[in-house]
Chains A and B, each alone.
Chain A
């Protein structure tokens, strides 16, 4: 079946550090891939997406590349800020529009 696995958190970094949050998926066919972010007390927001192999999604300094050969969609940012502290969810979308989420990774950025 379809599933998404993320690295466990929490991930604790100092400001301006490099961020990587690993995400791998299992799916039939070639789903679209997403990263969603949930800031404290707020709803889910789309961070970035990629719809086919080798696509790179980017937004707000975050990037992720759709790697079909390794079935991965790792999230990266070169220099994190305290305001990036949130829970990050990797997800895949089935052709019906159903989203399948990973368990989430909490990021804590310290000044």
Chain B
């Protein structure tokens, strides 16, 4: 089966600019996650969707980050305006069913964002 698709693979922007990342999960996976991985750290969950509803966005900096999953399939994560500390790899993952991620939890290759 096809994996989790993410684009772009790399992005360089200046601070205060905006950027958007796209994720297409594995077909049929109801749960979609966005993680942020800062260099030298483990990934941290930003937001979790179940179909097109938000399950957890407690660590999403809502003043600058937003995410949506219209139609419960692919998802977009946006940063506006970007700060230097947003430089990181943004990982998308999907799983099914909710809570049993170990049986289908798959990560995409990520988008590496550099803010200069």
List the interface of chain A (C-beta within 8 A of B): 4, 32, 34, 42-46, 49, 51, 89, 91, 93, 95-104
Contact = CB atoms under 8 A, between A and B. Distances in A.
Contacts of B105: 46, 97, 99
A49 B107 CA distance: 16
Contacts of A51: 102
Contact of B98 (A4, A96, A99, A104): A96
**Chain B interface, DSSP helix/strand/loop, else mixed:** mixed
Interface residues of B, number: 24
B108 A99 contact: no
Contacts of A99: 33, 35, 43, 45, 101, 105
A44 B43 contact: yes
**Chain A interface, DSSP helix/strand/loop, else mixed:** strand
B108 A43 contact: yes
B87 interface: no
A32 B56 contact: no
B31 interface: yes
Contact of A97 (B33, B41, B43): B33
Given A89-B42, A93-B101, A96-B56, 12 more contacts: A42-B109, A43-B108, A44-B43, A44-B107, A46-B105, A49-B102, A95-B99, A97-B48, A97-B101, A99-B101, A103-B40, A103-B41
